[in-house]
Amino acid sequence: MAKEVKKDPSELSVEEKLKALYQLQTMLSEIDKIKTLRGELPLEVQDLEDEVTGLSTRIEKIKGEIEELKSNVATKRIEIETAKASIDKYKAQQDNVRNNREYDVLTKEIEFQTLEVELCEKRIREYTSSIESKQEEIEKNTHTLEERKKDLEMKKNELDEIISETKQEEEKLRDKAKALEATIEPRLLQAFKRIRKNSRNGLGITYVQRDACGGCFNKIPPQKQLDIRMRKKIIVCEYCGRIMIDPELAGVMPERHLETKVK
């Protein structure tokens, strides 16, 4: 019963070998696709994480600036108190002056301290308005931060899901590919893998499309096309080295008939 299954790889017909190779390539391409899919999401998650960190740092920085402005306001309030105390003191002294000159000196001091108070009040107004605009900035940034955090949560879940989903799929494909590889003779498998590795689109085996190689699109001479359709020999494209099969073997409808009908 197991006779058919345990066939030695070298006993396979060329047609069977080519079919196995094409199936293997389909699986390997699927695995590549999964990797690509996963390859973009981690990057998006990383970007969002960076943005969240950046926004948090920025909010903390503004909070620090507000604290500094508040302490400046407190300092100015103390300066106002000091100046007002001086004014009171000078006014009391004016009641006990011995001459006009002393009185005038005190008047000048009072004027100076009054200006000091006004200057401090002006600074307090400036600091306060600066605090207000910084608080608005914090609000705006906090809003953005909350949105980004939500995005991040979503993308992270998406990534976790894809990873857990594709992990199973990828493992299944890898197991299948491994089983299939065991049925292909090592020399042919090595050659196929080498061609695949060197090709930019990951195709080591391809089928004839519009009389041309499906990998490099160079025309294939009619005699060679005939040999490919016979499925008796392993034939490679003379330009790119890819193993060639006919569309039917790849499970694809040949386009030639369609084309000639249209013309």
Residues that bind Zn ion (CB under 5 A): 213, 215-216, 237, 239-240
The nearer residue to Zn ion, 173 or 215, going by C-beta atoms, is 215
CB of 216 to Zn ion, least distance (A): 3
CB of 206 to Zn ion, least distance (A): 7
CB of 167 to Zn ion, least distance (A): 35
Q: Longest C-alpha distance within the chain, in Å?
A: 133
CB of 219 to Zn ion, least distance (A): 10
The nearer residue to Zn ion, 150 or 219, going by C-beta atoms, is 219
The nearer residue to Zn ion, 138 or 203, going by C-beta atoms, is 203
The nearer residue to Zn ion, 204 or 215, going by C-beta atoms, is 215
CB of 254 to Zn ion, least distance (A): 18
d(CA 162, CA 217): 35
Structure tokens at 178: 């491994």
The nearer residue to Zn ion, 166 or 209, going by C-beta atoms, is 209
CB of 177 to Zn ion, least distance (A): 24
3-state SS track over the chain: CCCCCCCCHHHCCHHHHHHHHHHHHHHHHHHHHHHHHHHHHHHHHHHHHHHHHHHHHHHHHHHHHHHHHHHHHHHHHHHHHHHHHHHHHHHHHHCCCCCHHHHHHHHHHHHHHHHHHHHHHHHHHHHHHHHHHHHHHHHHHHHHHHHHHHHHHHHHHHHHHHHHHHHHHHHHHHHHHHHHHCCCCHHHHHHHHHHHHHCCCCCCEEEEECCEECCCCCECCHHHHHHHHHCCCCEECCCCCCEEECCCCCCCCCHHHHHHHHC
The nearer residue to Zn ion, 189 or 205, going by C-beta atoms, is 205
